[in-house]
Amino acid sequence: MRPAYPRHFSQRRRRSFWSRFGKVAIAVGLILVVAGVVLLIQIQRPVPTLGVEPAVPVGMSIPGAPPAMPWPSSGEAAVDVPSLGMLPGPGSDRPVPVTSLAKIMLAFVVLHDHPLIGPAEGPGLTVTPADVALYRSEVGQQQSLVRISAGEVLTERQVLEGLLVGSGNDLASLVARWDRGSDAGLMAEMNAAAARLGLTHTHYNDAVGLDPATVSTPPDQLRLTEAAMADPAFAAMVSQPSVTLPMAGSVANFNTLLGQDGVVGVKTGASTAAGGCLSVAALRPVAGRPALVYAVVLGQNGTMPVQAALVAGKALVDAAGSAVKTTTVVPAGTAMATVTVPWAQRVTAVTTTDARLPAWGGLPVLLRFQPARLGRSLAGGAPIGTLTVSVNGRQVQVPVGVNHSVSAAPLSWRLRRMP
């Protein structure tokens, strides 16, 4: 319905007024339509999800210093709790003679070439007259020997038991000839195996360690011992206080610690050049759980060098086991990430529980954060990711969450946000 005009309005003025009023009305209407469309588009635009920005510290380590060990007053030593860490003693990076510890590598190579599964004895090896002649010559040199006779048949297991338990040097040529064709062939493979294991300070100049040029270090011997102990056949052999062989009868192990206080191996040795040597493995409570702890002691002197090595080795495995404590590596409440909220301030995300692992001071800590896929709001305490805490291979996972809730985007933000 058209508006009523004053009577004095002429027809022309009436048309002009209506033209201007109509244009304004149309313009206002268009503006309202556009505004409505814009508001509708703004409301219907997808709201972005919350984002996560990691803030994980780098170069972290367990607080404190490594534990003090009862290192022997002479010689070289090292101790290791696998998956936690190795502690080398003073001078343990210097290669020295290792005497009969060389037989650990000899057995490691033979078992690699000819595995013994379960209680299997393996093939028989026949003792030749040449083997007996070598044995007789070595008797005069007062070497460590296991009595043999021509025609005697020893199984692979019996030969290795004679080498590892009885430390019989005379059996080395017998097994070398069978395994690699000659002493030189076996020695070459022992050095090749050392290279594969990363034993950079180890060299074998003979198969049994009689030659002072057969040298290694305590850390290298620890790596070798642990690799050898991973073979159940080897571990079973070195755990025996004695073995019975066809001609030699009962042969006692020089490692008198065996069967006592959790000691389960591994090998002793002694010579004028090397002194008393020991590689030992023992079950010890580590952070409340039984675990194998290893120690290697070289260069022990005195009137009873093997006994000195045994005493020093046991002291080291005892100390290493008790040094490991369950430690709070990352406490609850440690900031590990930031949640980005497009419509509000950022929110700090923290570990919601303690990350605890067996460890000792000074060990490096590796942290890895895995963010979760987030929505458009968060409840207080909700997890936004997982932190994996690793210490030398052992690891634990703890949730990372926000301390307070994050509300969904308010209508006011949705309406005024820019593209």
Give the DSSP per-residue string, 214-266. Answer: -EE-HHHHHHHHHHHHTSHHHHHHHT-SEEEETTTEEEE-S-TTTTSTTEEEE
pLDDT above 90 as % of the chain: 66
Asked whether the predicted pLDDT for residue 249 surpasses 70, the reply is yes
- Specify the range with the lowest mean pLDDT, choosing from 39-48, 90-99, 317-326, 391-400: 39-48
Tracing tokens 């030398």 back to the chain, one arrives at: 392
* Tokens at 310, concatenated: 């045994």
* Position 268, amino acid: T
> What average pLDDT is seen over the chain?
89
Q: How far apart are the C-alpha atoms of 159 and 172, rounded to whole Å?
A: 8
Distance from C-alpha of 406 to C-alpha of 419, rounded to nearest angstrom: 22
Q: Which band of pLDDT confidence, cut at 50, 70 and 90, is reported for residue 220?
A: very high
Specify the DSSP class assigned to residue 99.
G
* Residue 413 pLDDT greater than 80, yes or no: no
* Residues 257-298 pLDDT 10s: 998 999 999 999 999 999 999 999 999 988 778 899 999 999
Q: Which of 32-36, 125-129, 237-241, 315-319 has the lowest mean pLDDT?
A: 32-36
In this predicted structure, the answer to whether residue 243 has a pLDDT above a threshold of 70 is: yes
Q: Does the pLDDT at position 2 exceed 70?
A: no
User: Which span out of 95-99, 173-177, 357-361 was modeled with the highest average pLDDT?
Assistant: 95-99
Q: Confidence band (pLDDT; 50, 70, 90) for 14?
A: low
- b/e sequence 148-170, b meaning 16+ C-beta within 10 Å: beeebebbbbbbbbbbbbbbbbb
Task: Report which of residues 416 and 92 the model is more confident about.
Answer: 92
- Which tokens go with 397? 């996972």
pLDDT, residue 404, reads: 83
The pTM of the whole model exceeds 0.75: yes
**DSSP state letter for 100:** G
pLDDT band at 225 (very low <50, low <70, confident <90, very high): very high
Whether 41 shows a pLDDT value over 60: the answer reads: no
How far apart, in whole angstroms, are the C-alpha atoms of residue 280 and residue 309? Answer: 10
Q: How confident is the model at residue 15 (pLDDT cuts 50, 70, 90)?
A: low
Q: How far is CA 410 from CA 44, 176, 375, in A?
A: 13, 81, 15
- Is the pLDDT at 36 greater than 80? The verdict is no
| Residue 288 in tokens | 């409340």
Rounded CA separation 397/336 (Å): 13
pLDDT digits (tens, 9 = 90+) for 348-383: 999 999 999 988 888 899 999 999 999 888 888 889
